[in-house]
Structure 1
């Protein structure tokens, strides 16, 4: 097994180093976050660092890069208070990835990428029409992370729209049936397969498959 110290890693080319570090945390869900600004332009960005924070209340957080690098999503959420999260599927991964480009604030990623825009009742932010799993979010808190200038944005789930065929009788969502993709690093997209579900683990009790 090869060993790399952080001192050695710091000497590497910037983009090589970024790819290496970005891949260390493993596969993550790939999501398009939809927002709208005070200029009434619908914005879309790719995010893969979502975190489940609790089910009651239903809270989900994500990391927004420093403002100078990614200003539109966080500014729109601050001004509007609502946003949407939309799963990515193989049929539109190239369009979804294009949404990571640095468009100006007055240019909509929906129009630039060709992704369909969808409006739903009780939500002032846009959804991705092609997404089979999407949900409306309301801002709860934005926590600055001083160490690197990023922001942890926490929201509560309001309304969920899914393809009902993925919903199991116990509330489990079979995301592989919807072909939701995950990501690795900043530019890799992967398909998923269920390897197994297991009953609640208890000390001294054999593991049971569901």
Structure 2
């Protein structure tokens, strides 16, 4: 199948939505937890989390335009300055998926989807208790993108990782805790480790045949 620009633009809306959301391959599946100034907790699934830098340790994620529906996640982050990113494992994919529902801000997705939450080290925002990898972030900036979406940038200030899932050089083995990946808007995958290679140095490039 070959699709050129003019064809892509006239595709059925849902077909195009699914196609463009899946052509980039699997994406990280995470739950982002926030707490409003009033103490209302929110958790929502995001597949747009991306590493931005290690020094300072910064992570970004994309929030779609709010339109008529306020984005509780972004609103809470802007108000309080703190949020959490929590890896999704195979054991709670279904619950995590349904956090994308547009609930009233006063109704917590933690309660509605029966997702256990926990507070760690006096951090302002709630973490997902069942997540193997939990990240606490301090809000740094919002950048408005050309398509109306917002890139939210945060600095990592707290990390919780199972000791058995991290090696002696700091790499996390995602397979050990059945970390899930997401393709499109609702298709989930297991991650299986294939191999590991060292940091690439020019004088160590193999002779490929």
Work out whether residues 52 and 60 of structure 1, in 8 Å CA contact, stay in contact via their aligned partners in 2: yes
Q: Distance in 2 between matches of 1:54 and 1:206?
A: 25
Q: Distance in 1 between matches of 2:199 and 2:90?
A: 32
Counterpart for residue 50 of structure 2 = 51
List alignment gaps of at least 5 residues for structure 1: none
Which contiguous aligned blocks of 4+ residues in structure 1 show a shift greater than 6 angstroms?
Answer: none
2:163 paired with 1:169:
no
| DSSP-derived class of the 2:100 partner | coil
Alignment root-mean-square deviation, CA? 1.4
TM-score normalized by the length of structure 1: 0.94
| DSSP-derived class of the 1:140 partner | strand
Per-residue deviation, residues 99-125 of structure 1 (Å, max 9, x unmatched): 011111111000010000111123110
Shift of 1:144: 1.0
Counterpart for residue 200 of structure 1 = 199
Q: Distance in 1 between matches of 2:198 and 2:185?
A: 34
Work out whether residues 35 and 77 of structure 1, in 8 Å CA contact, stay in contact via their aligned partners in 2: yes
Work out whether residues 180 and 191 of structure 1, in 8 Å CA contact, stay in contact via their aligned partners in 2: yes
Q: Distance in 1 between matches of 2:99 and 2:144?
A: 24
Counterpart for residue 3 of structure 1 = 2
Shift of 1:205: 2.7
| DSSP-derived class of the 1:196 partner | coil
Shift of 1:203: 3.0
Counterpart for residue 119 of structure 2 = 119
Work out whether residues 198 and 207 of structure 1, in 8 Å CA contact, stay in contact via their aligned partners in 2: no
Shift of 1:70: 5.7
Per-residue deviation, residues 38-92 of structure 1 (Å, max 9, x unmatched): 3321101111111111111100001011122561110000001000000000110
2:181 paired with 1:182:
yes
Give 1:61-76 correspondences, 5 Å limit.
Answer: 61-68=60-67, 71-76=71-76
| DSSP-derived class of the 2:197 partner | coil
Counterpart for residue 109 of structure 2 = 109
